[in-house]
Amino acid sequence: MPQEQKRFTLGLNLADYYYDAIQCCSCHQCRWIDFNYVQQPDFSWKCPPWQYEQFDAYGAEGKNRIVADLLTGKLDWSDPKLRDIVYKDMLCGACDLGCKRNLDLERQVLLESLRATLVEKGYGPLPQHQEMTRNIEETANIYGDDQAKRGDWIPQDARPAEKASLLYFVGCRASFRDTKVSQAAARIMKAAQTDFMVMKDEPCCGSFIFATGQMEKARKLAEENIKLMRESGAETVVFTCADGYEMVKVNYPKLLGISTSDLGFEVVHLVELVDRWVKKGTLKLAGEVNMKVTYHDPCRLGRMSEPWTHWEGVRGEWGLLEPTRLFRRGLNGVYEPPRDILRAIPGIELVEMYRHHENAWCCGNAGGVKEAYPDMASWTASERLREAKAVGAQAVVTACPACEEIFREVAGDGMAVYDITDLIVRAIGK
Ligand code: SF4
Ligand code: SF4
């Protein structure tokens, strides 16, 4: 039974969130988007597994009760249903900021810690997660592809420099499958006359390992990858993948008990750089792209991307924290840069979906859900495309190859799907 007066660290120890679990007041801000932002009742939910299952256990509220009962021994970790409830969850962060609207209770780290504890006790990850885990361990990429071919995406007309202050961390998807994204990124950086380098033997960022609760393995990867990034001499590491971006910026520090500012380099997504270049005039978006589009906020570029600040202290009477803590409430994610880029492209009309910015609905391709529960993942993505259609968009634009992947899989001919780099290269005429 956890001690409420005990000194603790904001991190991944489940027992430290007993207070957060028992303080749930059943307000359901974790399921609904903020009531004052609801424009269309049909698109007012924000927790995919809760809506899919229509059962409390699958949302944050139910998981609080489960955590409280696990920590007090009323529930058994070996219950087979528990694994299903814990892993049928994208860890999308929507409940975390919903809960902090009212009570400043931690939900994301509680859910991550729940998964981590399940793994520690030998009940996770799921068998469907083993293949990708093995691939990462044996080949350093999620696909099990030949790592020697990792650089095959590099286009002749936009090759990286041997040495530069900007390191492009390409990620598994854009290195091996969605190479259109990495090639576009290279051409965009060249057009902005910005040298970039890549790692000779770029490893996997470990986002999948973290998301499935395998924290010891994730911690080892974090240590190794930070060392490589520091040794590269990069001042800035740029990503085109929201998963990798959040993994390095937020989860590496969380795993290692440091702050984002301790990493020793800046972590940015390419949309942040492009936005700066366009506003400075060093990159011109002059080519017309005539299309009515909507922008899908990837969870890990939006509400989950705020910097991590290490905190240790005590929770005292009335739940007061000493010292006071800076809460990550999801409002300072990367929301405007991609929108400003789209608005700057001639011919593009940008319309918002009903759930946007911090209230965005997840794409479904996160938290190991697509691997273990493909039907729920596809349903989640289809719901997002239904919303895009409802606001009259011809295309969904996102800034993460994982979101793009699942949207394309479920879209068929019904909706065009683009990574934002695709539209930027068209606008710069490359
Ligand atoms: S928003 Fe927080 S307090 Fe409210 S029901 Fe959800 S988990 Fe409980
Ligand atoms: S993280 Fe997302 S999917 Fe998981 S319980 Fe919270 S809102 Fe639902």
Taking the alpha carbons at both ends of the chain, their separation in whole angstroms is 60
Q: Provide, rounded to the nearest whole percent, the portion of the chain with pLDDT above 70.
A: 99
User: Does the beta carbon of 36 lie inside 6 Å of ligand 1?
Assistant: no
Which atom of ligand 2 is closest in space to residue 96's alpha carbon? 6
Q: Provide, rounded to the nearest whole percent, the portion of the chain with pLDDT above 90.
A: 93
pLDDT digits 0-9 by tens, 85-143: 999 999 999 999 999 988 899 999 999 999 999 999 999 999 999 999 999 999 999 99
Non-local (6+) Cβ contacts of 289 within 8 A are 345, 346, 347, 348, 423, 426, 427
Q: What is the pLDDT of residue 412?
A: 83
Q: What is the pLDDT of residue 37?
A: 85
Are the beta carbons of 60 and 95 closer than 8 angstroms? yes
Does pLDDT of 377 surpass 90?
yes
Which atom of ligand 1 is closest in space to residue 31's alpha carbon? 6
Are the beta carbons of 402 and 241 closer than 8 angstroms? yes
Q: What is the pLDDT of residue 100?
A: 94
Which of these, 396, 393, 399, 394, lies nearest to 419 by C-alpha position?
Answer: 399
Q: What is the pLDDT of residue 317?
A: 86
Mutation to probe ligand 1, out of 22, 23, 25, 329 (largest number of atoms < 8 A from CB): 25
> Which residues have CB under 6 Å of ligand 2?
30, 46-50, 59-60, 89-95, 111
Does pLDDT of 333 surpass 90?
yes
Phi, psi of 3, deg, nearest 5: -95, 125
Q: What is the pLDDT of residue 162?
A: 97
Q: Is 315 helix (H, G, I), strand (E, B) or coil?
A: strand
Q: Which ligand is nearest to the CA of 111?
A: 2
Take atom 8 of ligand 2 and give the residue whose Cα is closest. Answer: 47
Rounded Cα–Cα distance for residues 416 and 407 (Å): 9
Does pLDDT of 4 surpass 90?
no
User: Does the beta carbon of 60 lie inside 6 Å of ligand 1?
Assistant: yes
Residue 5's pLDDT band (cuts 50, 70, 90): low
Take atom 2 of ligand 2 and give the residue whose Cα is closest. Answer: 92
3-state secondary structure 254-314: HHHCCCHHHCCCEEEEHHHHHHHHHHHCCCCCCCCCCEEEEECCCCCCCCCCCCCCCCEEE
Q: Which domains does the chain have, with CATH numbers?
A: 1-124 (no CATH), 128-280 (3.40.50), 284-297+335-430 (3.40.50.11810)
**What is the 8-class DSSP label of residue 33?**
P
- Average pLDDT, stretch 332-342? 98
Residue 39's pLDDT band (cuts 50, 70, 90): confident
- Average pLDDT, stretch 196-216? 97
pLDDT digits 0-9 by tens, 227-272: 999 999 999 999 999 999 999 999 999 999 999 999 999 999 999 9
Q: What is the pLDDT of residue 35?
A: 80
Which tokens belong to 348? 């593009």
Q: What is the pLDDT of residue 339?
A: 98
Q: Which ligand is nearest to the CA of 65?
A: 1
**Mean residue pLDDT across the chain:** 96
Which of these, 273, 205, 269, lies nearest to 242 by C-alpha position?
Answer: 269
pLDDT digits 0-9 by tens, 393-406: 999 999 999 999 99
pLDDT digits 0-9 by tens, 281-295: 999 999 999 999 999
- Average pLDDT, stretch 70-87? 96
Which of these, 170, 257, 171, lies nearest to 206 by C-alpha position?
Answer: 171
Please give the model's pTM, rounded to 2 decimal places. Answer: 0.96
DSSP characters over 355-398: S-GGGPPP-S--TTHHHH-HHHHHHHHHHHHHHHHHTT-SEEEE
Residue 210's pLDDT band (cuts 50, 70, 90): very high
Q: How far is the CA of 143 from the centre of ligand 2 (A)?
A: 26
Q: What is the pLDDT of residue 6?
A: 80
Q: How far is the CA of 87 from the centre of ligand 2 (A)?
A: 11
Q: Angle at Cα 88 formed by Cα 295 and Cα 268, nearest 5°?
A: 40
Does pLDDT of 221 surpass 70?
yes
- Average pLDDT, stretch 146-160? 96
